[in-house]
Amino acid sequence: MKKLLVIASAVLLSYGTASAQFLFSPHFGVGVGVGTTGIAVDASGTFNSYLGARVGVDIMPKIKIKKELDLGISDKTNGLTISDMNKHIDELNSQIDVWNTMHPTNKVEKIDKSLLPNGEIPDNMDVEGKLNNTTFHVLVDVYPFGALNSFHVTAGAYFGPSEIISVYNKEDGFFAPINQWNNAIITAENNPTSTLNTLVVQPYNLDMIGGELGDYFLTPNPSDNGNVKAYAKVSKFRPYLGIGFGRAVPKNRIGCQFDLGVQFWGKPEIYVPTYDKKTGLYQNEKLDGDKAGDDAGKILKAISKVSVYPVLNFRLVGKIL
């Protein structure tokens, strides 16, 4: 009987030790990885054979693309050529002087030709596009087969900037003369009996410089000091769900981990600077596919359907404890 009690006690003790290891047997590691989220650096831990976690940062290089853009000025100003517009700048400035003399409390800024390349409105401009998608992640790995293999299901979230892609003019203040031109046109149209309107704007059928995109009129916002930026926005908080192979902390000193999943970053939204001719308001406006015209509308609607970002990552991890 005494031997039986000793054997039973030994069995219970070994079972209790095994249970404790099953419930909580922590190990820690650090890892580096590469994939569609950029270069990942993280700290990781496993609590037992069934549960692990990772916390880290995914550094996405800020890729920049430069391109020369045809402004197509004559297409946006009732067929006026660049030469015509340069001539009309002098005529507008002459009548702006008259306006400012008669309206000292409501002066209009003259079009500063010194800000223009060679003193003339250019037909092209240099633009730059930039990707900005560095994120932080908090992920939990669940190993449904425990110690049998390293297959895991992962849930968690990525946290990043809302503005992920931006396109802007490379030369600072490039659009300042365009703002000045547009302000002169607006002043003339709001004051139809002024010489600014009767001697220049109306006879030559001058209009604001900008681009028609369906119901939108794209043009620089004066508050941006002669600069223009269009950008794409997504959610800052991006839930993640995926699968993979490999442990957050390997059983040996060095191991690897492979992940495949998606970030749910919501509907991408495109913002551009616009002017509402009915209300006279400038704004950075979110484009609606139903209002952007046929071709642009189709593109916007297609972009809005990309509500997830694919994640494919490979990670090397070292066990430190």
- Cα(165)–Cα(62) distance, rounded to whole angstroms? 10
Mean pLDDT of the chain: 85
Residue 65, classified by CB atoms within 10 Å of its CB into exposed (0-12), middle (13-18) or buried (19+), is exposed
How sure is the predictor about 17, in pLDDT bands with cuts at 50, 70 and 90?
Answer: very low
Residue 23, pLDDT > 90, answer no
- Taking CA atoms, 127 is separated from 64, 119, 162, 214, 269, in Å, by 10, 20, 21, 23, 20
**What's the pLDDT tens digit per position in 228-237?**
899 999 999 9
Task: Give the model's pLDDT for residue 179.
Answer: 92
Q: How many CA atoms lie less than 13 Å away from 71 in the CB half-sphere?
A: 21
Compute the average pLDDT of residues 45-66.
Answer: 91
pLDDT at 173 over 90: no
**Which one-letter DSSP state was computed for residue 55?**
E
Please tell me which residue, 166 or 15, carries the higher pLDDT value: 166
Specify the pLDDT at position 12.
33
Question: What mean pLDDT comes out for the span 115-125?
Answer: 71
Q: What is the pLDDT of residues 137-168, one digit of tens each?
A: 999 999 999 888 899 999 999 999 999 999 89
Residue 81 scores a pLDDT above 70: no
In which residue are the tokens 């959610």 written? 235
pLDDT at 68 (0 to 100): 74
Burial label, 137 (beta-carbon count in 10 A; 0-12, 13-18, 19+) = buried
Q: What is the pLDDT of residue 74?
A: 56
For 91-113, the pLDDT digits (tens) are: 999 999 999 999 999 999 999 88
Q: What confidence score (pLDDT) does residue 83 get?
A: 67
16 band by pLDDT with thresholds 50, 70 and 90: very low
pLDDT digits (tens, 9 = 90+) for 289-309: 888 877 778 888 888 888 999
User: How does pLDDT run across 177-222, given as a tens digit for each residue?
Assistant: 889 999 999 999 999 999 999 999 999 888 888 887 888 888 889 9
Structure confidence at residue 66 (pLDDT):
83
**Is the predicted pLDDT of residue 9 greater than 60, yes or no?**
no
